[in-house]
Structure 1
């Protein structure tokens, strides 16, 4: 085997493990978090992801490690956070939900909860996990294929597919494509553009942190619907400013403002909330498969838009944002009509909210069953 073949094989292995990590981390955090801060915990991934991107932009400057003589150091610097994670991961407890619901190990579940919540505050979460375990009644993990044919998760699955497709087809990648062009039109020298693009990284960090602070207060629906609605608005504004880019000297600055506010809107809504929805819309038996489907759809959408976008730009030029405008409106409308608010709800409560969509008017909720039994007892 040649050296190039070995190197390529190692690259594939690294990318594969990175892809697995992108799915497992939000799954783990969604399972261990209490419902009061589940949104913040899930968005935490996006917060540190944007911090990592900004750090990479800073370290990649010519004055740091972006020069020709130090590019190898730049690439190898990624090993530092990976090494820190490798050393600290063994200290983390296993997911309590996995231990009790999947493994039926109540002792280890209790031990994991105590290490996460403390010996005084773990009981409420323990009761919630036991309630979910009784409701699932020994139901085993569903495969990806089984999920597609499972009536009880029909609309949850459609929701995460639509949300992950929308995240990539919202126009965020087109914004970064046009950013350099707009910055040049604004009179910024090419040598200084890397410093200006740091502003986009700062915007991502600010909105990810803001999303984390707001998601458990205002709810998921407000953020994701509001985010897509604002993105649709700025798609219109950006189309107008790019059309008249050369007409007036001040127009490029409006284009820059539209780009930065579009990035802010994306980070405030779709960028942070999508992963949270995937964690919350499914119970333990379906969540792993749902994350695999959501992750695959997200990356396939990213690949598709990367392949098709150059042709869209060549054909429509600045009017390509009208396509993204339509996408943002469709996703916002879908979320508004279909997805209930999940803030401060248990996984079983969220499942109940979806069952009338999955089964129609014939579905009788557990709450209605309890009310009927109480009424019958009173009449007797």
Structure 2
């Protein structure tokens, strides 16, 4: 509640009220500084506000591995909730204080806490979950993000908070979830894996396991025995050292897990999910819906994304990761190809708009059960404890960086070649299909405290020869 939903909420909330906010910025700068913005300056300032959110995400996703190991998962989660709270307060107060600076700072801090949540939530939940549920925990981040986006879309309607009087309440509305999370913070356990393998405090690790699994639980005894064995191995193994980004990059053993994590997170953004939603209103208008109906249909498409996130829970728990990714990527490629053709035909055959709607919904479905959740969890299962935080953080940094690249380049590409911009996304997903089929090791059922399984080690030399 304090990390995943505000993450998605902040990501999606800025689009609907942007014209209202830009009008307020012009008035605020004139009233406070007697500055008159021309059209180019206004666009530049707005681009800075949008980019600062993504820039904060990149910074947040790359800053934390060392802090998480030194501070602990639970304490760092508390710090992130405090960041989120401060961001919400700044955004809520920007209109009242008539301060553009508060809006800018609030959006940057929103990106910062969202970037931290991208890797901290999967790391923390994966380490406290029972063995059978660890893969499922990786789905909670994209599920919460999708829910946050839909909530922001609904509240952003002009019949609710998308007005001149209420836009600041819309931007900072996620503060309700953060406040609830802070109230529950005292009840959160620390990760037993962190205590056993990072902090080297087995007594506290034992206490946390008893709290999580129940006193005298056989499952707690089994997990504690496994963690003690892993802790003993760490004393002499290569994971006994403190891992930095350079160490992971130079390691031959973790080259394939790192490349897999980076490519899957980049491929998630370059699959074109944001571009598809960009075209959603146009597609629904082409089918004869008015503006309000089109907005409602776009919210419906986002709701389908949330439903697919819920359905992904049993899929991720029982299905192989490679199969989920491959079928998801194939579905994304085929549905975007159909969408591209339908968009070209609509001017000549208006009924093709319904084919475009079907293709859009098919893309959302295909994306939701594989490419949406799996990249957030695969690093958790590929890396052992030592380099795990670095691996997850590098995946998050790649995800946010790719988001920034797509956000900056897609409007320009779309302006020049229109619907054919989907060709780039189709090509990206097709290349990712080949990589997943050739190199991705299966991680279903992998012990979270162990080193990469033999399949990673077996596929590593293949990758080295190929590269």
1:235 corresponding residue in structure 2: 336
1:113 is aligned to 209
Q: Distance in 1 between matches of 2:411 and 2:114?
A: 27
Q: Deviations over 1:21-76 (max 9, x none)?
A: 22211111122222311111110222222222222222222232223322232223
The question of whether the paired residues in 2 share the 8 Å contact of 1:35 and 1:343 is answered with no
For the pair 1:19 / 2:115, whether they are aligned, the reply is yes
Query: Does structure 1 residue 177 correspond to structure 2 residue 278?
Result: yes
Unpaired stretches in structure 2, ≥5 consecutive residues: 1-32, 34-98
Given the alignment of the two structures, is residue 353 of structure 1 paired with residue 462 of structure 2, yes or no? no
**Contact 2:383-2:451 at 8 Å conserved across structures:** no
1:274 aligns with: 375
TM-score scaled by length of structure 1: 0.89
Whether 2:251 is the aligned partner of 1:150: answer yes
Contact 2:315 2:369 in 1 (8 A): no
**Matching residue of 1:66:** 162
| Counterpart residue number, 2:233 | 135
Contact 2:115/2:400 (<8 A) preserved: no
Name the CA shift for 1:157/1:286 in 2 (closer, same or farther; >3 Å). same
Q: How does 1:1-380 map to 2 (within 5 A)?
A: 5=101, 8-119=104-215, 120=217, 121-137=219-235, 139-347=240-448, 348=450, 350-359=452-461
Show structure 1 runs of 5+ residues with no match.
362-380
Shift in CA distance, 250/32, structure 1 to aligned 2, threshold 3 Å: same
Asked if the contact 1:141–1:284 (Cα under 8 Å) also holds between the matched residues in 2, the reply is no
CA contact (8 A) 1:102 1:140 kept: no
Give TM-score scaled by structure 2 length: 0.73
The CA deviation at 1:349 is: 6.3
How many correspondences in the alignment?
Answer: 360
Q: Secondary structure of the equivalent of 1:226?
A: helix
The Cα shift of 1:7 comes to 5.7
Contact 2:442 2:455 (8 Å CA) reproduced: no
* Cα RMSD for the two superposed structures: 2.0
Distance of 2:461 and 2:337 partners within structure 1: 39
C-alpha contact (below 8 Å) 2:446/2:453 kept by paired residues: no
2-side partners of 1:13 and 1:202: how far apart?
A: 27
Aligned partners of 1:352, 1:100: CA distance in 2, in Å? 24
Deviation larger for 11-20 or 52-61: 11-20
- Counterpart CA distance in 2 for 1:7 and 1:312 is 29
Which stretch shifts more, 176-185 or 159-168? 176-185
Tell me the distance in 2 between the aligned counterparts of 1:240 and 1:94.
Answer: 52
**2:135·2:316 contact (CA, 8 Å) conserved in 1?**
yes
Shift in alpha-carbon separation, 1:26–1:270, aligned structure 2, 3 A = same
